[in-house]
Structure 1
Amino acid sequence: MNEGIVSENQNKLLVIWSSGDREVALSMVFMYVLNARKNDWWDEIMLLIWGPSAEILGMDPDLRAPIRELINQGVQVTACRACADLFDVSDRLARMGVQVDHMGEPLTGMIKEGWKVLTF
């Protein structure tokens, strides 16, 4: 393992939000990510919308403002295109400012590079 790669990325966080439970989003995911960004707990934060979370974000208007705030605070918010397409919400997510991309290879790369991963 290349120690240089790991040490360079030890302060990068990938939050994988896969839960379709809106309360998990509102009371855990969004709250932690926003506070982590505002308090500079991590140099870089990416929120990955994966699976059922894509559907709930695309359908629940109460979740849109918190996502916009995260984006405005500098959090990279990305959705898995395969998941978003499955739930037919890719266009809705993109209109919210969410980057919608295929994520299998990028996710694998981030893990191999030593990003810390937190899953909800």
Structure 2
Amino acid sequence: MTDDNPSENQNKLLVVWSSGDREVALSMVFMYVLNARKMGWWDEIVLLIWGPSAEVLAMDQDLHKPVKELIKHGVRVTACQSCAELFDVGDRLVRMGVHVDYMGEPLTRMLKDDWKVLTF
């Protein structure tokens, strides 16, 4: 069966950053996401901060500016509430402009809606 009307979600990207390595964020995650947004490679991009990356982001001042730049360019930056609570960094993330919420259901919905997923 062919689909003459491709899913509207086929051009949506979810980037899951779970690494606790700041260099992964600086040299891969932020660079790709920013360029993808600026160049229009994807209609919608969500950066999900998951696991140890929540603590790394909250505590490393050098990472704040690139994340704010992503937000400025229209990337939805969100963090897992459970992870933020685990590392006690929710308030810090919110002050940076990161949306903090429980992500189990939203993540499942994106996966079921055929978002493309890139993990770091």
TM-score range, shorter chain: over 0.9
Letter in 2 for 1:29: V
The alignment of Structure 1 onto Structure 2 pairs a total of residues equal to: 118
1:10 partner SS: helix
TM-score (norm. length: structure 1): 0.95
For structure 1, list consecutive stretches of 5 or more residues without a partner in the other structure: none
Runs of 4 or more, structure 1, over 2 Å off, are 3-6
Output the CA distance in 1 between the equivalents of 2:119 and 2:51: 12
TM-score (norm. length: structure 2): 0.95
For structure 2, list consecutive stretches of 5 or more residues without a partner in the other structure: none
Identity %: 75
Partner of 2:16: 16
Shift in Å, 1:8 = 1.4
1:108–1:65 CA distance, 2 compared to 1 (3 A): same
Matches within 5 A, 1:101-112: 101-112=101-112
Partner of 1:87: 87
Output the CA distance in 1 between the equivalents of 2:4 and 2:83: 33
Output the CA distance in 2 between the equivalents of 1:98 and 1:19: 17
Whether 1:75 aligns to 2:71 is: no
